[in-house]
């Protein structure tokens, strides 16, 4: 899929802010170490008319894992209440430019939204270009009807990952920092072991992004190739909790190599279980 089928520019959005079939979604989410409050930032300033989608609120409430994909009926109710309905073009952004927006886009698409794009450069670019910013209480949107249809094929379970590793049917690519992948740094979540799935590869999500945007296509392809990825073979992406795994998936999509699935539970699930782990550099099977 072409880059321009995944991203829209700030200029493109600025020209269409009042279009009735477009809804802008602030999908900002931050790690504790980033010391940022997504809800407070949205309340203070946002792209005019934007609604806020919180992955920690719209999630599978039956799971004790962080921000797991919500059930279709819960997703439909949540986004319908935000004024997002069938047939709308959804433009997602986040504060830094390219961090949580890919996860929000993946969530929408996996739950049945057909037309979801990411604002290139995010709110940081929008603000830097002195484009209009809305302050004060957000504008309420009229509720709409959203038909959710879960694409099960886009979501990998721990068993799916284990089978893929055993059979060599897909490459598992982990987006976490290299020191956590190698088991040299502690995981931020209590009770989660350090290391990686035996046979997994490591492409740090941060290595793909510069100034809130993806690097160019050759640089993206090189980052995956340097990690030992065969771009012509199926890929399942993973990370700490399913957020930066979506950055990997989106990067591959933009260079025409869509992934098989995203491991939603990611290392938060695998590392807290009794499944096998490895430490040190990646040793592909």
The predicted-structure confidence for 205-233, as pLDDT tens digits, reads as follows 999 999 999 999 999 999 999 999 999 99
Q: Are residues 159 and 264 in the same domain?
A: yes
For the chain, counts of helices (H) and of strands (E): 10, 12
Share of the chain above pLDDT 70, in %: 99
Q: Are residues 134 and 216 in the same domain?
A: no
Give the residue carrying structure tokens 């806020």.
52
The predicted-structure confidence for 141-151, as pLDDT tens digits, reads as follows 999 999 999 99
Q: Are residues 223 and 245 in the same domain?
A: yes
Mark which of 131, 150, 169 sits at the end of a domain: 150
Q: Are residues 174 and 201 in the same domain?
A: yes
CA distance linking residue 71 with residue 23, whole number of Å: 22
Length of the chain: 285
User: Which backbone phi and psi does 22 adopt, to 5 degrees?
Assistant: -115, 135
Give the residue carrying structure tokens 């300033």.
45
Give the start-end residues of each E strand in the chain.
Answer: 7-8, 22-26, 51-52, 89-93, 116-119, 155-156, 171-174, 201-202, 209-210, 213-214, 235-238, 261-263
Known catalytic residue at 239 = yes
Q: Are residues 206 and 83 in the same domain?
A: no
Give the pLDDT band of residue 1 (cuts 50, 70, 90): low
Q: What is the rounded average pLDDT of the residues 64-81?
A: 97
Give the residue carrying structure tokens 């209440």.
81
Q: Token pair for residue 30?
A: 């931050």
Q: Judge whether residue 3 has pLDDT over 80.
A: no
Q: What is the CATH number of the domain that holds 195?
A: 3.40.250.10
Q: What is the rounded average pLDDT of the residues 90-117?
A: 98
Q: Structural domain of residue 38, as residue ranges? A: 3-150
Mark which of 133, 150, 167 sits at the end of a domain: 150
Contact criterion met (CB below 8 Å) for 56 and 66: yes
Q: Are residues 146 and 171 in the same domain?
A: no
The predicted-structure confidence for 115-132, as pLDDT tens digits, reads as follows 999 999 999 999 999 999
Q: What is the rounded average pLDDT of the residues 8-25?
A: 97
CA distance linking residue 197 with residue 173, whole number of Å: 10
pLDDT at 167: 97
Contact criterion met (CB below 8 Å) for 267 and 241: yes
Q: Judge whether residue 285 has pLDDT over 80.
A: no
Q: Are residues 66 and 85 in the same domain?
A: yes
| Residue 278 placed within a domain | no
Give the pLDDT band of residue 30 (cuts 50, 70, 90): very high
Share of the chain above pLDDT 90, in %: 95
Q: What is the rounded average pLDDT of the residues 138-161?
A: 96
- Per the structure, the count of domains in the chain is 2
Per-state percent for the chain, helix, strand, coil, to nearest 5:
30, 15, 55
Question: From the candidates 239, 247, 262, 282, which is the catalytic residue?
Answer: 239
CA distance linking residue 221 with residue 53, whole number of Å: 31
Q: Count of CB atoms within 10 A of residue 164's CB?
A: 22
Mark which of 150, 177, 194 sits at the end of a domain: 150
CA distance linking residue 55 with residue 157, whole number of Å: 19
């Amino acid at each position: 899929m072409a880059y321009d089928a995944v991203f829209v520019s700030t200029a493109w959005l600025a020209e269409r802010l009042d279009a009735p079939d477009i809804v802008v979604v602030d999908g900002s989410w931050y790690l504790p170490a980033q010391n940022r409050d997504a809800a407070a930032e949205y309340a203070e300033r946002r792209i005019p008319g934007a609604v806020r989608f919180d992955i920690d609120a719209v999630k599978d409430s039956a799971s004790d894992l962080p921000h797991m994909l919500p059930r279709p009926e819960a997703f439909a109710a949540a986004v319908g209440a935000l004024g997002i309905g069938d047939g709308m073009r959804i433009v997602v952004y986040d504060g830094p430019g390219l961090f949580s927006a890919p996860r929000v886009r993946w969530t929408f698409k996996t739950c049945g939204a057909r037309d979801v794009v990411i604002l290139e450069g995010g709110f940081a670019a929008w603000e830097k270009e002195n484009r209009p910013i809305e302050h004060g209480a957000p504008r309420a949107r009229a509720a709409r009807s959203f038909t959710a249809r879960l694409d099960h094929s886009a979501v990998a379970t721990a068993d799916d990952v284990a089978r893929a590793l055993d059979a060599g049917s897909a490459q598992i690519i982990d987006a976490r920092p290299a020191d956590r992948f190698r088991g040299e740094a502690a995981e931020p979540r209590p009770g989660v072991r350090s290391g990686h799935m035996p046979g997994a590869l490591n492409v740090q999500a941060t290595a793909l992004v510069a100034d809130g945007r993806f690097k160019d296509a050759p640089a993206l392809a090189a980052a995956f190739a340097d990690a030992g990825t065969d771009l012509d073979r199926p890929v399942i992406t993973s990370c700490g909790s399913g957020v930066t795994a979506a950055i990997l998936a989106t990067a591959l999509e933009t260079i025409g190599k869509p992934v098989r699935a995203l491991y939603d539970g990611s290392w938060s699930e695998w590392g807290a279980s009794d499944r096998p782990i490895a430490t040190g550099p990646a040793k592909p099977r």
